[in-house]
Each structure stands twice: as C-alpha cells, then as structure tokens.
Amino acid sequence: MDAFLSQYFDLDIMWRSLPDVLSGFWVTIQLWLVASVLSLIWGLVLSLLRQLPGRAAAPIRALTIVYIDALRGIPLLLVVLLISGGLGALASEDVIADWIGLPRWFGKPDPFWYGVFAITLTYGAYMAEVYRSGIEAVPSGQMQAARSLGMSYAQAMRKVVVPQAVRKVFAPLLNDLTALMKDTSLVLVIGLAEVVSIGQDIQAETFNSSALVLGAILFLVVTIPLARIVDRQIAKQQIRYQRA
C-alpha cells in the first residue's frame, strides 16, 4: 500500500510539479475553450446545411452527410496527425500560405492551432448530429406557422426553430464539450506542452506518476461540475415535459 501511495500520491512531487502542471493545464483550458466555441458554431452550420430544403440543395445535403459520417468514423488522433503533417508540408512547398500552414496566431504555437482545427472538424460533426436531433424534435407546425407569418425559411430557422432546438439539446451538447476537453490531451502527440505532456515529462524524470495524477485531479475539477450541470438540465427538461 505504501508503494502504491508513493507512486501515485507523492505529495512532495505534486507540490514541486504544481506550477508546471498548472501551466500545462492552462494551455489545455485555452485549447478547450477555443475548440469548443468553434465546434459549436461549425456543428450548427453543418446541421443547417443538412436541413436545407429543395432539390437544388440536394448536393449540399449529400456532401454534408458524407462529411459528418466520415469525421465521426475517423479517430481524432488520426485527424490531428493528418492536419499537423499535411498543413506543415503544404506550407513548406508553397501550396498554401505560411499563415495557414504554420499558424501562430495570438502568440500561440502552430501545434495549438493544429489541435484546434482537428478538434473542431471532428467534434463539429458530432455536434451537428446533436443539433439535428433538436431541430427534428421541434414540431413541424412551428416552421409552418412562421412561414405563414411571412418569414423566409432562413428567418424561420433563425428566429423560431433553432432557438427551440438548442434548448432541447443543451444537455447533450454539454456532454460533448466534456468529452472534447478530455480529448484535448491527444494533441500531445504533435508536441503541444499541455497538462498530460508535462505530466509525462515529469514522470520520465522522477519515475513517479504523481504529476499525472495531479493533472487528472485538475481535469476532474472542471468535468465534475459540468456533469452536475448536465444532470440539472436533464432534470429541468423532465419536469417541463411532465408539466406539458
């Protein structure tokens, strides 16, 4: 038992590694926030493209479905590697501009933005399906009523359907954001100094896993409150439906 506690809960190593682990966790939080906002936006765009009416929009709907199915079927780690290797190589061959292939926007290194791109592309596909379920759960009479009032299709979606859909899928979206935060650790494979990467470095130096446990505790500090928010939202929805 003492060996177990010494390996995973060495308070001295945790204390000495705390500044470095916190620095890496701040990078993780920044990556999570940026990727979450972009994924929510991209997912909504994809869901709206998939819902476009009419025969003329059939190719757009088909391409959107193919994209969503493909990105949901490819592991995020593989997408990270494809993005990081592909963009850098294309920039070095002058196929694309350096500011795209080697992004260093807002003082962040290119692995940070490669991670943002990969996570956004992948989780946008997942969130598109969540949005779609919310849109399809809105009664069709809502759209018909909005159109009868003179609204265009885009106006009806923006002012009537989408607001109701987002309220219906708020809890599933939070679940996806929680999963997204955990998957930010995959960016360590392309050299981003985030919390897991720093924990691994400390583990290699000390032959002790306490720094990684400290990183896990920091993840729990964020994800457990998110889980409780999801539970509260689900309970509110159940009460609302029971009243209805």
Tens of pLDDT, residue by residue over 49-96, are 998 888 888 999 999 999 999 999 999 999 999 999 888 888 888 888
**174, 131 contact by CB (below 8 A):** no
Tens of pLDDT, residue by residue over 84-114, are 988 888 888 888 888 888 888 888 899 999 9
Give the residue, 97 or 43, on which the prediction is more confident: 43
Please give the pLDDT value at position 244.
Answer: 54
Look-up of token digits 């299709």: 153
User: pTM for this one?
Assistant: 0.90
* Out of 23-27, 41-45, 168-172, 178-182, least confident range: 168-172
- Domain containing 206 equals 2-243
Count of domains observed in the chain: 1
**78, 67 contact by CB (below 8 A):** no
pLDDT at position 156 over 90: no
pLDDT at position 241 over 80: no
C-alpha closest to that of 127 among 18, 42, 66: 42
All residues at 6 or more sequence positions from 234 whose CB lies less than 8 Å from its CB, including other chains:
171
Kind and range of the H or E run holding 213: helix 210-243
Kind and range of the H or E run holding 125: helix 110-137
Angle between helices 170-183 and 110-137 (to 10 degrees): 160
Chain mean pLDDT for the chain: 89
For 29-43, what is the mean pLDDT? 96
Tokens of 192: 């981003």
**200, 51 contact by CB (below 8 A):** no
Q: Give the CATH number, domain containing residue 32.
A: 1.10.3720.10
Angle between helices 110-137 and 76-92 (to 10 degrees): 130
* Out of 9-13, 36-40, 212-216, least confident range: 9-13
The count of residues in the chain is: 244
CA distance 218 to 223: 9
